[in-house]
Amino acid sequence: MESAIRAAMLELGGSLLGRLLAADPGHRGPRIDCGRGHEAGFVAHRGKTIHTVLGPVTLRRAWYPCSVCKHRSSPRDEQLGVTGTSLTPGPRRMIDRAGAAVPFTPAARLLADLAGLDVNAEAVQRTAEADGRAAAVAITARAEAIRTRTPVPLPPPHGRTSSTSRSTAPASR
């Protein structure tokens, strides 16, 4: 009975999450900065299935290809942290922790058993290693900033994404 209720709750949660994510398809006007010095034009809304801690969710999001450099982007993908991947940050963290704790094949089984994530050993390896490399780069950059005494802005408080939000706590050195 527990498993059936858990499955139903995950399905309901996934459905609610899908509706919330559908509220903003990421359309930011007819043109946006492509991120490489050009402007990308809106062409259509495209579907993408993302894998969340509540299961797969399919959403439609605005699609902006750049006619100059051919870079393609979706502001919604960037906002949700799924650019170049179908995994949201939640499952990525789960995969990273499992991949760090046990070999990749048992990690995939563990994720299926405990979190209902259907990933194979290769996906665990790719995700954990890519996130490990990204973390190493970030740590190296922070260490260099500390070494050179370069000020580093504080991230917004947890749960806030507004660019106007600032920490009111005094900075300490």
Q: How many CB atoms lie within 10 A of CB 157?
A: 12
Kindly report, residue by residue over 13-44, the tens digit of the pLDDT.
999 999 999 999 999 999 999 889 999 999 99
Query: What is the predicted pLDDT for the residue at 159?
Result: 52
Say if 9 falls within a structural domain. Answer: yes
Task: Specify the pTM.
Answer: 0.75
Q: Give how many domains the chain has, as a whole number.
A: 2
* 163 domain residue, yes or no: no
Written as one letter, the residue type at 133 is R
Query: Is pLDDT at 47 greater than 80 in this prediction?
Result: yes
129 half-sphere exposure, CB direction, 13 A CA radius: 8
Q: Give per-residue pLDDT as tens, 55-78.
A: 999 999 999 999 999 999 999 999
Does 107 have pLDDT greater than 80? yes
Domain of 131, in residue numbers: 87-151
Rounded to the nearest angstrom, the gap between the alpha carbon of residue 155 and the centroid of all alpha carbons in its chain is 17
Task: Return the H-helix or E-strand segment holding 60.
Answer: strand 55-65
And the tokens for 42?
């809106």
